[in-house]
Amino acid sequence: MKIRIYETNNLELGTVAKMLLMPDKQANYNPNSHWIMETNEGRTQNNNLNEEGLQKRYKELSVKLTGGDAVVMRLCLN
């Protein structure tokens, strides 16, 4: 499962990723059982050349299906 988090003025992507990775490591001592397998960063494409500021940074998390509920719950509660 992939979860994509977009940056806003009040949301720092690095902090969100750390907030999710720390409990994952605490709950799953074995690295093979971690919920979050990979994190990637990127930017959306600005397809409208007449407007500026449509590009947004995002962080994409690749999450195992078994840990999807826990990751979404952490995002909603914090």
Pairing of strands 2-6, 36-43: unpaired
Whole-structure pTM value: 0.64
How far out from the chain centre does Cα 64 lie?
Answer: 13
Per-residue pLDDT at 54: 64
pLDDT digit of tens for each residue in the chain (78 aa)? 888 888 877 778 888 878 887 777 777 777 677 777 888 888 887 666 665 666 778 888 888 777 677 777 777 776
Q: What is the largest CA-CA distance in the chain?
A: 50
Q: Where are the domains of the chain?
A: 2-77
